[in-house]
Amino acid sequence: MPTDLKNPYCTLVDVQMEAANDDTGDAEQFKAEINAASRWIDGYCRRDFLFHDNASTPLVADSDWCAGNVLFLPIPIITLTKITVDGIELDTTDYLWKNSSPRSTAQIIKSGRWIIQRQGSKFALPPKIELTGTFGYTPAQADPDKTPSPDLPQEIITICRVLAAIRSGKVKREFTAPDGSRQVATVKNLPPDITASLNRFRRQII
């Protein structure tokens, strides 16, 4: 049965080039490994790198996103059209937002604190913060479920390509043996800088 790419972070051609292998007989395995590598990246980073359309149904912020007057989003903002706090819409002059660099997270900075202690209460109950807009990464115009976003950080594309290629067992590297002969071996280990490159995209657990 043919394998379809599902929310991939790189293309089949990317992996074929990484493995120096454009054999059509290996294409199905490469696509399966791209899917697996993409979801491994999600798991490691505790987040995804997809498009989130919250233009109709708002994104509800987690209470642990709030710190003082800053709301820390684990995904970047594409558009932000409305914010409501406990059902009350904020005036656009009461906040501003910015994406991080690299474009992986976002901050919404409010004129006052997001969580306000209720009068007569010993505890500050987290409000219901709803964000209306679009978030994450702009989808591809054609086959967005099967095509990587053109907006993805290059590090995510590179890691997905390398990871999928090595997982396939099709990556070969030439080396010189102790006797001076040239040998070819299958690459089985990931480069040590793979997880280091992902760490700045990883969602921290508070």
Which residue, 73, 68, 90, 72, is CA-closest to 81? 90
Alpha-carbon gap, residue 45 to 159, rounded angstroms: 12
Alpha-carbon gap, residue 61 to 74, rounded angstroms: 10
Query: Sorting pLDDT into bands at 50, 70 and 90, what band is 176?
Result: low
Give percent above pLDDT 90 in the chain.
62
pLDDT value for 126: 79
Which residue, 22, 72, 45, 21, is CA-closest to 152? 45
Q: pLDDT tens across 79-117, in order?
A: 999 999 999 999 999 999 999 988 899 999 999 988 876
H-helix or E-strand spanning residue 81: strand 77-85
Query: Sorting pLDDT into bands at 50, 70 and 90, what band is 200?
Result: confident
The answer on pLDDT for 124 being more than 70 is: no
Whether residue 53 contacts residue 104, with contact meaning beta carbons closer than 8 Å, is answered with: no
Supply the pTM of this predicted model: 0.85
pLDDT value for 43: 95
- Kindly state the tokens that stand for 78: 């594409």
Q: List the Cα angle 101/85/105 in 5-degree steps.
A: 10
